[in-house]
Chain A
Amino acid sequence: MPASNILRLGVKELRSLWRDPMMLFLIVYAFSLSIYVAATGIPETLHKAPLAIVDEDQSQLSARVTSAFYPPYFTPPALVTQSEIDRGMDEGRYTFALDIPPDFQRDLLAGRQPTVQLNVDATRMSQAFIGNGYIQQIVGAEVAEFAQHYRGAAEPPATLAMRVRFNPTLTQSWFGAVMELINNVTMLSIVLTGAALIREREHGTIEHLLVMPVSPLEIMMSKVWAMGLTVLVACGFSLVVLIEGVLRVPIEGSIALFLFGASLHLFATTSIGIFMGTIARSMPQFGLLLMLVLLPLQLLSGGVTPRESMPLFVQIIMQAAPTTHFVRLAQAILYRGAGLEVVWPHFLAIAVIGAVFFTVALGRFRKTIGAMG
């Protein structure tokens, strides 16, 4: 019989949501436009990196080097004088400034190893490293080709045959779209359950339920499945129609397996939402708590920057966050086509985390509802 209570109460949750047009709009927005903007807005790893060149040589070679920089990797180089570099970099107009010294071509041909100076704005970490590498390669290649006309150059004894798997062209939007999807799944499920719980408590409808032969377990389960299902449907829709259809991200693995992982994740996040709903005493407090919980869940999950580069203690703590495992299983399934035999440890981890939060939330549920009197 409890199963039927859970079912009925869940249907009631869905009906209430259905009658709230603003929330529906926000859900639709979060799973369509928001993901689209995030996916298409984030640049490719090195994209339109702003570059300035000071050409003090004005030779055939320096012109050749200058013309080697073009979109999409770099903006067409701004040709500036040496005195303009500082100001331009201060204002953040250029990430890179390349200074080609006078007599560059002559010194090269004379074998004197001239020095080119490359200024990098190292506060822009995302471009600094990679851009530096690209510029070195481009300048080196141009110079080598130029020099070859005059003195042949030897082939290196060993080469690297690099192949990038799973995303051969390193298209950033593939990555951005799925990560934003994951972020919104997490945010929505927490807000929908936690804030809805506070609202029901403020309006007294929770109490009405608690005097009936319905246990807190049933009330919680009904919220978990109803809100979880809502987000899951939105997530599946977004994945198939928007990400696969509109954004043309190739999905390697099984969508069903991913959605199974997503439902486990939703079990964990809706439980966290309810847990937070029992901690915050009012909506303003919940709002702040939400920020405090949501940002680390998103930023430290490995969905923004790689987990390996985080300090060890952060890595250890974040093992307890469901998003960490969800990001990893999502990447494994969607990009790398991994099957259950590969990702099961993450499924297990999320299930355990979810169960722990669910139990704790259940324990606090009746206690705090009572204290509302």
Chain B
Amino acid sequence: MSGAFAEEASRPVARLTGVSLSYGQTLALDGIALEIPAGRMVALIGPDGVGKSSLFSLIAGARVIQSGAIEVLGGDMAERRHREAVCPRIAYMPQGLGKNLYPTLSVFENLDFFGRLFGQDAAERDRRIDDLLRSTGLAPFRDRPAGKLSGGMKQKLGLCCALIHDPDFLLLDEPTTGVDPLSRAQFWDLIDRIRAERPGMSVLIATAYMEEAARFDWLIAMDAGRILAAGPPHDLYERTGQPNLEQAFIALLPEARRRGHKPVTIPPRAHDGQADVAIEAKGLTLKFGDFTAVDHVDFQIERGEIFGFIGSNGCGKTTTMKMLTGLLPASEGEARLFGREVDAKDIQTRQRVGYMSQGFSLYTELTVRQNLELHAQLFRLAPEDIPGRVAEMAERFGLVDIMDALPDALPLGQRQRLSLAVAMIHKPELLILDEPTSGVDPIARDQFWQSMIDLSRRDMVTIFISTHFMNEAERCDRISLMHAGKVLVSDTPAHIIEERGAATLEEAFIGYLKAADGGAASAMPPAADPTHVTPAPDHARGSTAAGGFSVRRMMSYSRREALELRRDPIRATLALLGSVILMFIMGYGISMDVKDLPFAVLDRDATTTSQNYVLNLAGSPYFIERPPIADYEDLDRRMRAGELSVAIEIPPGFARDLRRGRTVSLGVWVDGAMPQRAETVQGYLQALHGQWLGDMAVQELGVRPAAGLINIETRYRYNPDVKSLVAIAPAVIPVLLLLFPAMLTALSVVREKELGSIVNFYVTPITPLEFLLGKQIPYVALAMVNYGLLVLLALWVFRTPITGNVVAMTLGAILYTSCSTAIGLLFSIFMRSQIAAMFATAVGTILPAVQFSGLINPVSSLEGAGAFIGRIFPTTHFVTICRGVFSKRLGFADLQTELLALAVTVPLLLAACTLLLRKQER
């Protein structure tokens, strides 16, 4: 196959010159110069962290080029116009199982989303989706959520999504990592078939599996941000004089890296005859709801044995290990460590176990030494032993030179050794290692294995390891093949191969998988599918052309966002129910009616007149009398405790002086801690005092004092009973319609950034505006449902009648919720983590909405920055609209200014979002 295209002297599909990329201090790519031949299967080989993924994202146009030039499909990828023109011809599947898929969406919905993104109409989408599903064997799983697919199926779906628009250049970043061998074989068959149908298509694949890469047309070997070699496989073999790719790759590495590398040797296990069992599992089962993650697993591991768990991602390896460590309680069956039942509270057993979880979960903010010391302390080593033990571990795992480095600055191989050192710090008798070598380069992997073998043979440490590399599996004393939560077979690798009569372990595994799945493999249709029609390229071009504003592309994001919202009913319910609950709380809770204020009297007169005065206060709804005050000290204490809002001192001789016409003065102390309340208290007191004087004059003297000079007739408008509820309920609606929609959208963009699906925005023809509007629409719709609920609540429960024009208010609500969702988007675009976005939204919305938008104080009375915020904040306008329509009989004509202000704010906010939103990663 490799020589077949040798004479084809077409232009390269991509040409890179002097491409470098750095993340802060770290140089990821270092002056890459490369030509990728067109119409070929090209593999990029090399371990994790050498820059493969960075290179892919640069070629796909998902990342901004820092230096150098990249030409793809005959144009410069640094130019926006060229990127827009070619992105419909490129398909990019990022690394990670189903990373650019949406887990809650079904297989069909995922494909449909991508079809819409490329502007295909309904008929074309249906035809293509049927076609792709049939040829990949995914048809029976059409309605299954992507998150519930196995690893292999996820990758097939990812491939379908990449192929939906007939790309000319297909970029697949580690598509088979972590996939079981059977699915892997099927995946490559699928790629071969597709290539047979579309021979012009160029395919660039990154892989860490050397065996796989050997079948490609052209290989690029990469290490530490540089290209080691490029050419057809046989060229590489000839150049290095090595028989297979793994060894050829090691030979290509620079001298410094290779130094000290020697093949792994495994001394046989010294059997002392006594089978001392370290781990035992019997019928171990774990169910999550109706999903059985681990299904009656049995095994026994002897002391000092290296026991391997082999299987694909999601087959239950990690879950089983977590049950053994007590992280997960088993639903059924039992697990024993050193003869003792696993118990989450058993701190003593934990002292005997070292665990290394999948991925790197050490503390990146601590240095190597601090990490070792922290763990030594946590494992309760005697303080005097710690320095010695740390030094010993550093020596043994080759960390001496990097003791003061931060883990993030280290290559993956060294970090893995650090993880192992940490897991070993307390001399455990058992090591549980969950995929410790994934992503580590071959040399580091060999070194790692050598350390483990030493531990097992020299120190009799039991090692329980999981992996999906077959050559590692062969190094274990015994292995279990695992698939879909079940152990297929447990034996020595040699016996397993023998049993199936296979040539390699991989072949034997595939044999077991086929036997276990029964007919599942036959889901793959025959290669030649007569109904498969490859659409004419020009037709494809026509329907996928980028540029302009496309409603269909926008709606693809809207539909997806709406579907996700529907699949997460807790979130939608919280958003709707939450606002209703808060409306109740705020409507009843925020009360301006000052009443039931506690007061007490220091009555030095103690006559019926003074008692009458107190009764007059106590009898009003505004004041409640507390036990009388004994003296000034008592008065002071009770006011300081906040027990009294008002204290009144009636002087001795009050009644006498009053009758004699001598002016008397009552002492009044008002608690000023809450200024608003104090003002109201003063007003009430004056009024009640005046009233009492009048009444007294009538009773005592029989005459009403001279009437006032004038009358002041107060008309309380819009709210004649002066009820808080009427004032508050309509103004609470705008506050709630800001907080919830903004919080919903605030996480929508940043979440995609954290989870990785943002790459679909980077590499597909969708424009920032389409993306933003698309995301916004479902949330505006949800907010409008919310609006309806809140208005009904105000009408029926709070009995606040609508007197004005409902249509005007509803139009205002549409504009306003567009504003609030755009504010959320703005925070979401600006922030880099979900926490920060959430935090910023809470800080940025609650204060302006509650304090500066007229809910409590009119905006015209605000001062300083608050006044400025109040005037431009959209909530202010909608508060005016809501109050106007509810209480003031206003219509369109009266609300023009506010509606216009909102109508201007929406495009301004969206423009800010569009400017900040980058179509490429930096």
Q: Chain A residues in contact with chain B, CB under 8 A?
A: 1, 4-5, 8, 12, 15-16, 18-19, 22-23, 26, 29-30, 34, 36-38, 40-50, 75, 87, 89-93, 95, 104, 108, 113-130, 132-133, 135-137, 139-140, 143-144, 147, 153-168, 170-172, 174-175, 180, 183, 187, 191, 195-196, 199, 203-205, 207-208, 210-215, 281-292, 294-296, 298-300, 304-306, 308-311, 314, 328, 331-332, 335-338, 342-343, 366, 369-371, 373
Contact = CB atoms under 8 A, between A and B. Distances in A.
A126 B685 contact: no
A252 to B, nearest CB: 9
Nearest to B379: A213
Contacts of A121: 717-718
A45 to B, nearest CB: 4
A2 to B, nearest CB: 10
Contacts of A118: 712-715
Given A90-B894, A122-B719, A291-B578, A328 B642 contact: yes
B834 interface: yes
Contacts of B851: 38, 41-42
A40 B377 contact: no
B372 to A, nearest CB: 13
A23 to B, nearest CB: 6
B424 to A, nearest CB: 13
A246 to B, nearest CB: 13
A37 B866 contact: yes
A305 B592 contact: yes
A344 to B, nearest CB: 10
A44 B675 contact: yes
Contact of A158 (B640, B666, B840): B666
Give the interface SS of chain A, mostly helix, strand, loop or mixed.
Answer: helix
A292 B589 contact: no
A286 B591 CA distance: 29
A286 B369 CA distance: 36
B682 A117 contact: no
Given A140-B709, A299-B590, A308-B597, 11 more contacts: A29-B843, A45-B678, A89-B717, A120-B715, A122-B722, A123-B888, A158-B666, A160-B668, A170-B679, A306-B597, A366-B344
Nearest to A116: B712
B710 A123 contact: no
Contacts of A281: 570
Given A207-B361, A295-B846, A40 B835 contact: no
5 contacts: A127-B861, A213-B351, A295-B846, A299-B850, A305-B591
Contacts of A16: 363, 365
A127 B670 CA distance: 19
Nearest to A41: B866
B141 interface: no
B883 interface: yes
A126 to B, nearest CB: 5
Interface in B383-440: none
A292 B581 contact: yes
A92 B858 contact: yes
A304 B591 CA distance: 9
A163 B668 contact: yes
A153 B689 CA distance: 19
B862 interface: yes
A296 B747 CA distance: 22
A165 to B, nearest CB: 5
B863 A43 contact: yes
B686 A166 contact: no
Contacts of B455: none
A89 B727 CA distance: 15
A122 B714 CA distance: 11
* A-B pairs with lowest CB-CB distance, top 9: A41-B866, A167-B672, A125-B592, A122-B719, A133-B683, A122-B716, A170-B675, A338-B640, A208-B361
Contact of A159 (B319, B355, B586, B665): B665
Interface stretch (B206-214, B300-308, B321-329): B321-329
Contacts of B510: none
Interface in B706-743: 706-720, 722, 724, 726-728, 730-731, 739-740, 743
B897 interface: yes
B709 A90 contact: no
Given A8-B378, A12-B366, A191-B839, A45 B715 contact: no
B730 to A, nearest CB: 8
A347 to B, nearest CB: 13
B831 interface: yes
Contact of A91 (B329, B581, B724, B897): B897
B847 interface: yes
B679 A140 contact: no
Contacts of B586: 295, 299
Contacts of A308: 594-598, 645
Given A44-B675, A122-B719, A211-B355, A310 B708 contact: no
Contact of B884 (A90, A127, A304, A309): A90
A300 B344 contact: no
B743 A45 contact: no
A93 B714 CA distance: 18
Given A40-B864, A43-B863, A336-B639, A204 B710 contact: no
B626 to A, nearest CB: 12
B335 to A, nearest CB: 14
B670 A165 contact: yes
B674 to A, nearest CB: 6
B459 interface: no
B699 interface: no
A82 to B, nearest CB: 13
Nearest to A184: B843
Interface stretch (B543-551, B656-664, B913-921): B656-664
A124 B591 CA distance: 12
A38 B672 CA distance: 19
B833 interface: yes
A108 B894 contact: no
Contact of B594 (A92, A115, A309, A335): A309
Contacts of B713: 115-118
Contacts of A199: 833-835
Contacts of B243: none
Contacts of A104: 710
A126 B592 contact: yes
B680 A41 contact: no
A130 B683 CA distance: 7
Contacts of B326: 211
A326 B906 CA distance: 39
A1 B378 CA distance: 9
Contacts of B663: 155-159
A8 B377 contact: yes
Interface string B850-870: 111010111011111111011
A289 B693 contact: no
Interface string B340-355: 0000110100110101
A274 to B, nearest CB: 15
A84 B835 CA distance: 50
Contacts of A164: 669-672, 678, 682
Given A43-B861, A124-B858, A128-B722, A342 B637 contact: yes
A284 B347 contact: no
B861 A49 contact: yes
Given A289-B574, A300-B585, A123 B715 contact: no
